[in-house]
């Protein structure tokens, strides 16, 4: 490497030893010429730079990567010819003059419940909140009508061949339904091993060519279907897969929606030009009066997802249209937080402001929303501290929200005072620097305390910052993102927050997981693009580190906004978080009430759950009722067991918490768990609770399953007629005005025009007795193996055997001998607890009270009223493997023919 040859030729060559003989350097027994020395120095420098590059790639040194990347920042490369052109939306809302008699719901026929395209379709419908029903394609059709209305507005076939091959009887029924109710069909031609060339679709003047590789897709700008999707551009490059189907038609009913070219030199016309091939085709219904859209490939191609949504809108006559308005906000967390060498410098802050201005031209009202932790202000090097200063010189150019002062996770605070002190420090910093403090929005570091809820955080937020809205990625879980929803707790609105692939460690585009190609895929039709398309309100989480270095965050958002404007008619705008939250819950008022999940089932949630909570203290089984069937007696018997512990009593509802069916649910998980204190000294291994009103609560099964998905359920059933009478007498004995002013027969026969208090008492008497209806609701969420049904009459007459069977069901050890602890009390007429060896302790005076016999006319009326419900209960017993039918049920059904 170090020789005496010149490095450059001609007159520019470096001096050699001949020109400067006096500068020979002597050392020991060898001589190094000056030119050679220079070459060595240059070589060492080059070699050192190479080592630095290699080292930086291996160690990810922030100093070195920052040094090298500043001169190589990515720039948005979206080139769109129609970006500034007119937006032509054909028939903006797809509404027609058709007299619609169908519900806005989609029926999806799939090959199996696990087929890939079927899952893709279902996930897309979930993400866009479009109602749907999945049906495995088979020999019979589901019920399509409900009285005079159609159940579905569009029918989708994952495999269009399934539609073509339906037997004549069902095909005629389906086609008749589509014609009468103006319902359209969407079908996908699925891949097959056999290749077809010019094969005719059964019964249609339409031919297909299959298993093609295609490229360069474009849309028909004249299509009436396009609404969300914008025509005018070409999606250049290979299309995913080598199993595409293209169409050839010989009837005017067909119109091309999408074209593409073969990915080879075949299919040229006489002039040598390639012919575009129809890949998605519209059937206007001129052939058989049924409108269809047929796709030559599935949803792997991102453009097909947009066309699928537009097809739903068009074929449903606008009933299944998505709004074109999208709200868009970018949070930048961790302002002032970051290691030296990774923070924003002055030039980065200027780029942030300049890019914000460009985005605001495309997204009205757009400003970056900066979240600050004041403790870390001026914690960088000299250049980065100047960047901090420049941010504060431009406070009014941004929106602002509070992080924690020291960036600590709120769930680690066990003391409200300490948590508030941290927040006050950040608030004082904001006041000192002139940062606005009235946004009403805040984010907890790592989403700690927002969900799973840490009550101290919500209290402190209210007291210090008057927070009205926050956001999180964690509700109900981080993944899948399509299921993220909002909720309101303690009058603080919690919005779903979206990820964009940028995290604290994604600072450089060449370090992006999968490289720049993967990021561009997300932007150009992939996950980030689809997130904005599917969600009406988008709050994106990013970090300060994404905006320094090579300014990856700026590249990402400017690019995706341009791509959205290029390919869609979506109207992006921005607004402060409080306005976004108000809009969100106007759109989705049903999401206001939260559904509390089990933090123990999610490792991420366990990490950000209050450390004084224990998974072991959640109940393992529930006694769900219904009322007046013997639930209090069962509660007492269970409490005798040394391995079982009930909840602490409630000051208002005694042994019942009534959490899942009442306003108590909105108090939150911490409130519920306070009834199950974790006690290491307790010998009980099984917590349970009994709330008899759970049985018929409409929302209860869903709520219970969300929090206690593995819980066992115990219900007690007696004759629904006798249960209704017992409830009436119970309310009467407690001084209920209606019960004291109306006879039982008057109550149960009250009409729907009766006074509301009377109707309410009628409903509480009658509705819980519709046993099969309520059990089916529970079995929607829980397996039959999770449910144990006790015969209430047997519990009363033979509680020892009932409790033994229950212990087996619960698999509780050690086995408890109830024979020694329960004894029949002839005065009370039921079994009581044995105490002090020979005495009994019975339930209170209100239990076992003797009521006057029910009138015969009331009993007959109720037996007729419950006939269909009792018949359904027998079927449910048999369906779920319960062989023994209770005697009371047989008796009620045996009198069904009596007048």
Predicted pLDDT at 657: 95
How many angstroms separate the Cα of 16 from the Cα of each of 4, 37, 42? 7, 11, 16
Residue 269 tokens read as: 């016309």
Predicted pLDDT at 4: 37
- Alpha-carbon distance of 133 to 122, in angstroms, equals 9
Of the candidates 628, 712, 732, 796, the residue annotated as catalytic is 628
- Of 197, 347, 359, which is closest to residue 277 (Cα–Cα)? 197
- Of 337, 386, 338, 341, which is closest to residue 64 (Cα–Cα)? 341
Predicted pLDDT at 317: 95
Predicted pLDDT at 57: 46
The pLDDT tens digits of the residues spanning 63-102 come to 444 444 444 788 888 888 766 555 555 556 898 877 789 9
Predicted pLDDT at 481: 94
User: Which segments of the chain have a pLDDT < 70?
Assistant: 1-35, 37, 40-41, 46, 48-71, 82-92, 265-273, 679-684, 828, 837, 843-849, 895-899
Predicted pLDDT at 231: 93
Verify whether residue 628 is a known catalytic residue.
Answer: yes
- Alpha-carbon distance of 745 to 737, in angstroms, equals 16
pTM: 0.87
Binding site membership for 3'-phosphoadenylyl sulfate: which residues?
Answer: 726, 847-851
The pLDDT tens digits of the residues spanning 536-548 come to 999 999 999 999 9
Task: Check: CB of residue 269 under 8 Å from CB of residue 255.
Answer: no
Q: Is 581 exposed, middle or buried (0-12, 13-18, 19+ CB in 10 A)?
A: buried
- Of 831, 820, 870, 827, which is closest to residue 718 (Cα–Cα)? 870
- Alpha-carbon distance of 384 to 390, in angstroms, equals 10
Angle between helices 867-879 and 856-865 (to 10 degrees): 50
Q: Is 550 exposed, middle or buried (0-12, 13-18, 19+ CB in 10 A)?
A: buried
Residue 162 tokens read as: 């399934």
Predicted pLDDT at 61: 44
């Amino acid at each position: 490497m170090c020789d005496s040859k010149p490095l450059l030729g001609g007159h520019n060559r470096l001096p050699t030893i001949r020109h400067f003989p006096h500068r020979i350097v002597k050392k020991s027994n060898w001589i190094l010429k000056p030119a050679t020395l220079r070459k060595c120095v240059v070589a060492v420098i080059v070699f050192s730079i190479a080592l630095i590059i290699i080292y930086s790639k291996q160690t990810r040194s922030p100093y070195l990567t920052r040094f090298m990347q500043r001169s190589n920042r990515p720039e948005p490369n979206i080139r769109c010819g129609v970006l500034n052109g007119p937006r032509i939306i054909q028939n903006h809302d797809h509404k027609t003059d058709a007299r619609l008699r169908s519900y806005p719901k989609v029926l999806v026929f799939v090959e199996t419940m696990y087929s890939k395209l079927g899952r893709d379709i279902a996930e897309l419908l979930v993400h866009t909140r479009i109602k749907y029903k999945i049906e495995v394609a088979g020999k019979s059709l589901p019920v399509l009508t409900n009285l005079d209305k159609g159940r579905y507005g569009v029918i989708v076939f994952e495999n269009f061949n399934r539609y073509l091959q339906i037997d004549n009887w069902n095909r005629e029924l389906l086609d008749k339904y589509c014609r009468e109710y103006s319902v359209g069909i969407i079908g996908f031609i699925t891949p097959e091993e056999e290749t077809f060339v010019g094969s005719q679709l059964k019964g249609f003047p339409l031919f297909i060519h299959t298993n093609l590789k295609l490229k360069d897709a474009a849309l028909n700008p004249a299509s009436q279907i396009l609404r969300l999707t914008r025509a005018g551009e070409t999606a250049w490059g290979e299309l995913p897969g080598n199993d595409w189907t293209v169409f050839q038609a010989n009837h005017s009913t067909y119109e091309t929606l999408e074209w593409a070219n073969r990915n080879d030199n075949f299919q040229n016309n006489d002039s040598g030009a390639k012919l575009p091939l129809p890949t998605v085709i519209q059937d206007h219904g001129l052939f058989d009066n049924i409108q269809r859209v047929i796709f030559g490939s599935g949803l792997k191609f991102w453009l097909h997802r947009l066309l699928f949504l537009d097809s739903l809108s068009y074929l449903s006559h606008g009933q299944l249209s998505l709004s074109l308005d999208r709200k868009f906000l970018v949070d930048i967390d961790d302002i002032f937080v970051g290691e030296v060498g990774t923070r924003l410098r002055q030039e980065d802050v200027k780029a942030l402001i300049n890019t914000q201005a460009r985005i605001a031209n495309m997204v009205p009202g757009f400003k970056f929303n900066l979240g600050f932790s004041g403790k870390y202000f001026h914690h960088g090097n000299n250049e980065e501290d100047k960047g901090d200063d420049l941010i504060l010189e431009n406070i009014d150019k941004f929106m602002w929200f509070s992080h924690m002062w020291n960036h600590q996770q709120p769930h680690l605070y066990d003391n409200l005072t300490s948590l508030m002190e941290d927040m006050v420090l950040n608030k004082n910093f904001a006041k000192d620097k002139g940062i606005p403090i009235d946004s009403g929005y805040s984010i907890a570091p790592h989403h700690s305390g927002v969900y799973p809820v840490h009550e101290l955080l919500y209290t402190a937020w209210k007291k210090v910052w008057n927070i009205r809205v926050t956001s999180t990625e964690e509700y109900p879980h981080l993944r899948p993102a399509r299921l993220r929803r909002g909720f309101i707790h303690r009058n603080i609105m919690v919005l779903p927050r979206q990820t964009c692939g940028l995290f604290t460690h994604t600072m450089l585009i060449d370090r992006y997981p999968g490289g720049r190609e993967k990021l561009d895929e997300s932007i150009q039709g992939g996950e980030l693009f689809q997130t904005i398309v599917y969600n009406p309100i988008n709050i994106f989480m990013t970090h300060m580190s994404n905006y320094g270095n090579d300014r990856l965050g700026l590249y990402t958002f400017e690019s995706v906004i341009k791509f959205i404007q290029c390919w869609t008619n979506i109207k992006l705008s921005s607004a402060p978080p409080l306005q976004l939250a108000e809009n969100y819950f106007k759109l989705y008022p049903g999401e206001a009430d939260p559904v509390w999940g089990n933090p123990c089932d999610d490792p991420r949630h366990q990490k950000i759950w209050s450390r004084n909570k224990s998974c072991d203290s959640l109940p393992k089984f529930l006694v769900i009722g219904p009322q007046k069937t013997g639930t209090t007696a069962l509660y007492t018997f269970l409490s005798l067991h040394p391995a079982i512990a009930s909840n602490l009593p409630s000051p208002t509802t005694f042994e019942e918490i009534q959490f899942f069916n009442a306003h108590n649910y909105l108090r939150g998980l911490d409130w519920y768990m306070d009834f199950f204190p974790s006690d290491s000294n307790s010998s009980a291994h099984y917590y349970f609770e009994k709330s008899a009103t759970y049985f018929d609560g409409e929302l209860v099964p869903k709520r219970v399953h969300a929090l206690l998905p593995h819980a066992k359920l115990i219900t007690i059933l007696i004759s629904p007629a006798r249960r209704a009478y017992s409830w009436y007498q119970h309310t009467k004995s407690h001084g209920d005005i209606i019960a004291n002013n109306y006879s039982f027969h008057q109550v149960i026969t009250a009409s729907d025009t009766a006074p509301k208090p009377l109707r309410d008492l009628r409903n509480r008497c009658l509705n819980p007795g519709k046993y099969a209806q309520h059990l089916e609701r529970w079995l929607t969420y829980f397996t039959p193996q999770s449910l144990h049904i006790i015969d209430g009459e047997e519990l009363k007459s033979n509680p020892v055997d009932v409790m033994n069977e229950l212990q087996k069901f619960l698999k509780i050890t050690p086995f408890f001998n109830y024979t020694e602890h329960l004894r029949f009390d002839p005065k009370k007429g039921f079994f009581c607890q044995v105490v002090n060896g020979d005495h009994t302790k019975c339930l209170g005076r209100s239990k076992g009270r003797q009521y006057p016999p029910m009138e015969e006319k009331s009993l007959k009326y109720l037996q007729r009223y419950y006939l269909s419900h009792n018949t359904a209960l027998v079927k449910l017993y048999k369906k779920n493997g319960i062989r023994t039918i209770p005697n009371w049920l047989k008796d009620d059904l045996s009198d069904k023919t009596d007048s």
